[in-house]
């Protein structure tokens, strides 16, 4: 990753320095967006753009004057070209942070942003993971049921601590719970289950991330899905459990505790995604 885009300008990666007064560094007053790009084209760009716009509203931030879908899309494409990633599979991250000044109360609500890109060692198409994920539960900290958890805030302490717990216990990922002990999401993506032939995912009101791949499955693939709270019993009685995010697509869970799961529906979903977006 040789170049980044900082407030519209392409600069060297090493030239970007964070001030000690940066509000993202001091207070976590920031959020980010992760985008998968294939041959210079961001996937699901409209969904990403509108999620960014929604995060500005929740965070009480003022978008830049040139915050249009077309302009930001051009910035991403230009950065990929500058990093020789326009013919590769790449991950792009856009970080937005409130301009410095103030303590808890900011002096202003205008923002700055930085766009990074790096190559992914993946195929162009989404593929089913060969081995089902071995998943545990992270219960030491829980998620609150509020709209802040619906955006990709830079406050990811629960995900960090949960990832350490997963590694120490030889899990591929862990499931997070909310304060009502309901199933919310994985450390690395949204959760879906197949139970009694129904596709179910927690509602945003339960505290899960408003994931782009989650939104694609619910709105764009013409499949029947239900948003409702999921309990431990629902999870352990399900036929299939899988995780979604834009980087990996759909990953099936092979095992939770002593329960094993199949992956027939997961493969069908992956085929639908590839047919609609990548063929």
pLDDT tens digits, 220-233:
998 999 999 999 99
Residues 111, 138, single domain; the answer is no
CA angle 146–25–187, rounded 5-degree value:
45
Q: Check which CATH number belongs to the domain holding 32 and give it.
A: 3.30.470.10
pLDDT above 70: percentage of residues in the chain: 99
Cβ-contact 34, 91 below 8 angstroms:
yes
Q: Give residue-wise pLDDT tens across range 145-161.
A: 999 999 999 999 999 99
Residue 128 falls within a domain, yes or no?
no
**For residue 56, what are its two tokens?**
């500005």
Residues 107, 166, single domain; the answer is no
User: Confidence class of residue 132 from pLDDT cuts 50, 70 and 90?
Assistant: very high
User: Confidence class of residue 139 from pLDDT cuts 50, 70 and 90?
Assistant: very high
User: Confidence class of residue 210 from pLDDT cuts 50, 70 and 90?
Assistant: very high
Q: Which phi and psi angles does 2 have, rounded to 5°?
A: -90, -35
Alpha-carbon span 173 to 29, nearest angstrom = 27
Flag whether pLDDT at 64 surpasses 70.
yes
Q: What is residue 162's predicted lDDT score, i.e. its pLDDT?
A: 98
User: Confidence class of residue 279 from pLDDT cuts 50, 70 and 90?
Assistant: low
Residues 152, 254, single domain; the answer is yes
Burial grade of 170 (CB within 10 A; 0-12, 13-18, 19 or more)? exposed
Residue 267 falls within a domain, yes or no?
yes
The total number of structural domains in the chain stands at: 2
Mean pLDDT (the chain) is 95
Residue 12 falls within a domain, yes or no?
yes
For residue 68, give its domain range: 3-119
Residues 169, 222, single domain; the answer is yes
User: Confidence class of residue 124 from pLDDT cuts 50, 70 and 90?
Assistant: confident
Residues 98, 143, single domain; the answer is no
Q: What is residue 2's predicted lDDT score, i.e. its pLDDT?
A: 87
Residues 237, 268, single domain; the answer is yes
Residues 99, 205, single domain; the answer is no
The last residue of one of the domains, among 119, 143, 176, is 119
Give the mean model confidence (pLDDT) for residues 111-133: 94
Strands 225-227 and 198-201: parallel
Residue 125 falls within a domain, yes or no?
no
- Predicted TM-score (pTM) of this structure: 0.94
User: Confidence class of residue 278 from pLDDT cuts 50, 70 and 90?
Assistant: confident
Q: Check which CATH number belongs to the domain holding 261 and give it.
A: 3.20.10.10
Residues 48, 168, single domain; the answer is no
Q: What is residue 16's predicted lDDT score, i.e. its pLDDT?
A: 92
Cβ-contact 132, 261 below 8 angstroms:
yes
Residues 202, 114, single domain; the answer is no
Residue 127: how many CA atoms within 13 Å on its side-chain side?
A: 8
Residues 138, 271, single domain; the answer is yes
Residues 106, 157, single domain; the answer is no
The last residue of one of the domains, among 61, 89, 119, is 119
Residues 161, 198, single domain; the answer is yes
The last residue of one of the domains, among 66, 91, 119, is 119
Flag whether pLDDT at 66 surpasses 80.
yes
How many CB atoms neighbour CB 12 within 10 A?
A: 9
Q: Give residue-wise pLDDT tens across range 161-195.
A: 999 999 999 999 999 999 999 999 999 999 999 99
Helix spans in 22-68 (H) = 23-27, 45-58
Alpha-carbon span 184 to 235, nearest angstrom = 11
Please enumerate in sequence order all residues whose Cβ is within 8 A of that of 141, keeping only pairs 6 or more positions apart, or say none.
Answer: 157, 158, 161, 162
Residue 260 falls within a domain, yes or no?
yes
């Amino acid at each position: 990753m040789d170049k980044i885009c900082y407030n519209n300008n392409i600069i060297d990666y090493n030239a970007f320095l964070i001030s000690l007064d940066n509000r993202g560094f001091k207070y976590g007053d920031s959020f980010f967006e992760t985008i998968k790009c294939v041959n210079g084209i961001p996937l699901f760009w409209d969904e990403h753009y509108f999620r960014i716009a929604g995060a500005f509203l929740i965070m009480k931030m003022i978008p830049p004057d040139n915050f249009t879908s077309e302009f930001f899309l051009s910035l991403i494409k230009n950065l990929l070209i500058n990093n020789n990633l326009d013919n590769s599979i790449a991950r792009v991250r856009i970080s937005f942070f409130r301009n410095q000044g103030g303590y808890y109360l900011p002096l202003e609500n205008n923002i700055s942003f930085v766009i990074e890109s790096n190559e992914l060692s993946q195929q162009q198409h989404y593929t089913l993971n060969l081995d089902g994920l071995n998943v545990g539960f992270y219960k030491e900290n829980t998620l609150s049921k509020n709209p802040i958890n619906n955006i990709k805030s830079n406050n990811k302490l629960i995900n960090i601590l949960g990832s350490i717990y997963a590694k120490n216990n030889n899990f591929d990922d862990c499931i997070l719970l909310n304060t009502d002990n309901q199933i919310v999401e994985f450390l690395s993506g949204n959760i879906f289950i197949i139970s009694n032939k129904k596709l179910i995912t927690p509602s945003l009101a339960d505290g899960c991330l408003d994931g782009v791949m989650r939104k694609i499955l619910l709105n764009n693939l013409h499949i029947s899905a239900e948003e409702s709270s999921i309990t431990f019993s629902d999870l352990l009685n399900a036929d299939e459990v899988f995780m979604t995010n834009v980087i990996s697509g759909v990953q099936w869970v092979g095992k939770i505790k002593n329960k094993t799961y199949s992956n027939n529906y997961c493969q069908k979903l992956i085929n639908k995604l590839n047919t609609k977006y990548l063929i």
